[in-house]
Chain A
C-alpha cells in the first residue's frame, strides 16, 4: 500500500524550488538520489515484540538467544503461529491492518519487554547495545555480525530447564554495515560493477536490496513498473524467525525537508552507528502469513536449514 506520506514525498518533489540550483550551498539538495528509495524495514505484529525470543530477557544478558517452542521438542522449527495458538486469546499474532494514514510500519507499540525501542519495526539491538543498555544486545531482531548461540526450549515455565536444540546465527546485514541501529536496511542502487555476492548464486551486487525497472522500452504503459528486490540471508532470516517472523515490509525515502530543517545538509550519508537520516514511509506491505515459515523434513530441522529469502516488491506508479 502506498501511504499518504509517500504522496507527500511526491508533492515535495513537484514543488521543490528550481531556484535552489543557483545557490551553490543548496544545489546539492536537488540531486535525484536524495529522493529515491533509501531504506527498508521489516516487522511483525505488535504483540510479537514482547513474545517469542523477545520474551526471555534474562538469558539474553548471558549471551544467548532463547526461544520457547510451544510445539515441543519433537519439532525443531520455530513457528510464530504456534506461540499465538498457545497463548490464545491474549496473543492475536496479526499485524495492524494497513492504512494510507500510517506513518510507520506498525502503528501500535513495538516496544520490547523493557519498554524501549518503539520504532514501529524490527530494531537492531546488535548495534543498539553499543549505545544502549548492554543487556539488550540480543533482544532482536538481527544477530551480531559474529555468530551468536541460540537455544530452543520446550519449557514455558522454566525455559532454562527445557533446552533441547541449539546452534548459531550471524548477520549478513551487520557484517557489511547495511543496517543501522534502528533497523533501517539501507538500499544500494543498481551497481553493475563487482560487489558482494551472496552465496545463493544470485548476484546482489552492492548489497541485499536493489531496485530496477522491469522494462524500459517503447510502451509507456508498461514502463511505469519497477521492482524493489531484496534478499534476506539465512542468518538474518533465521534470527527474525526466532523473534516472531516476517509479517510486514516498509519502504522509505528520505524526509529531505525535515532533515534540512534539522540542520542536516547533503550529502545525506548512511551510518550504522549514528545514522542521522530521517526516513519517511513511502509504502508498506502487510502479510497474514509468516514469510519465514519453515518446517521439518523428516529428521532434518527446518530451522537449521532455513534458506535465505528473496522478495520482489513490484511498484506501479499509475
Chain B
C-alpha cells in the first residue's frame, strides 16, 4: 500500500481602515491573517460528505470582534477569540447597523452555548470574488457600532477579529466554526468613524 500526503495552502490578508464621515480613509492595519484549524475541519467535512448536505453551510457568513486579542492566539490551533463581544448591545449600541445574533459555536468539536456566542452577519453582497481563487469579505462596522466598550470598568479597545464558517456539520440549530483569526493593533472605536475590514482569503 502506498500513502501520500498533500497540504493545501489557504492564506489570507486583512486590511483595516478608519472611514470618516468626510470620506477620508486611514489604513490602520495591513497584514496577513491566520487560517486556523477550523478551516480544515470544515473542508474535510465537505469533501468527505459527512457534514451539511447544503453547500452554503460551508460558506463564511459571520464574524466576531473581540477585545483581548493575543499574538499567542495567532496559531492554527486557535478555535475561539480570546474575548469576543458578549452582547448585542456591545456590537450595535443603540443604533448600529450590524445584524447581530446569537448562535452555537463549535469549539474543538464541542457545541458551546454558554456564555452565549454572538455573531455579526456578513451580507452576501459584501462577499466578492476578486480573482479566480480569492474571495474578499468586506465588513463595515458603522459609526454607531462597537463604541464605548469596557471590561472591568476600563475602556476596552477592539483588537481581534475572527471569521466563521456557517454550519459545516449541518446541525440544527446552526453551529459555526472559527476559520480565520487575526489580532490587530488596539482601536478605541468611537462614533467619529466607521471601521472597514477588508479580509481576503486566497484558496490557492
Q: Do A and B come from one complex?
A: yes
Cβ-based interface call for B162 (8 A) = no
**Least CB separation from B47: chain A residue:** A36
Q: Which residues of chain A come closer than 8 Å to B79, judged between CB atoms?
A: 220
Q: Residue B56 contacts which of A30, A212, A220, A285 (CB distance < 8 angstroms)?
A: A30
Q: Which residues of chain A come closer than 8 Å to B2, judged between CB atoms?
A: 291, 309-312
Docked CA distance A261–B197 (Å) = 33
Identify which of residues 76-116 in chain B touch chain A, using a CB-to-CB cut-off of 8 Å: 76-77, 79, 108-110
Docked CA distance A151–B129 (Å) = 55
**Least CB separation from A311: chain B residue:** B2
Interface of B is mostly: mixed
Docked CA distance A19–B124 (Å) = 9
How many chain A residues touch B (CB < 8 A): the figure is 54
How many chain B residues touch A (CB < 8 A): the figure is 54
Q: Which residues of chain A come closer than 8 Å to B56, judged between CB atoms?
A: 16, 18, 21, 30
Q: Which residues of chain A come closer than 8 Å to B202, judged between CB atoms?
A: 7
Identify which of residues 282-312 in chain A touch chain B, using a CB-to-CB cut-off of 8 Å: 283, 285, 291, 309-312
Docked CA distance A100–B79 (Å) = 29
**Least CB separation from B134: chain A residue:** A11
Q: Which residues of chain A come closer than 8 Å to B188, judged between CB atoms?
A: none
- Say whether B52 contacts A316, CB under 8 Å: no
Given the known interface contacts A15-B129, A317-B43, the answer about A216 and B37 at a Cβ–Cβ threshold of 8 Å is no
Q: Which residues of chain B come closer than 8 Å to A310, judged between CB atoms?
A: 1-2
Q: Which residues of chain B come closer than 8 Å to A317, judged between CB atoms?
A: 8, 10, 39-40, 43-44, 47
Cβ-based interface call for B185 (8 A) = no
Interface of A is mostly: mixed
Residue in B4, B8, B47 whose Cβ sees the most chain A Cβ within 10 Å: B47
Given the known interface contacts A32-B51, A223-B109, A317-B39, the answer about A283 and B6 at a Cβ–Cβ threshold of 8 Å is yes
Cβ-based interface call for A157 (8 A) = no
Docked CA distance A19–B59 (Å) = 13
Cβ-based interface call for A63 (8 A) = no
- Say whether B204 contacts A3, CB under 8 Å: yes
Provide 29 A-B residue pairs closer than 8 Å at the C-beta atoms, listed in order of the A residue: A2-B6, A2-B7, A2-B204, A6-B8, A7-B132, A7-B204, A15-B135, A16-B55, A30-B54, A31-B54, A32-B52, A32-B57, A33-B53, A190-B49, A213-B48, A217-B109, A218-B110, A219-B108, A220-B40, A220-B77, A220-B79, A221-B37, A221-B76, A224-B39, A226-B48, A291-B2, A314-B5, A314-B6, A316-B7
- Interface residues, chain B, CB within 8 Å of chain A? 1-10, 35-41, 43-60, 76-77, 79, 108-110, 124, 127-129, 132-135, 177, 201-204
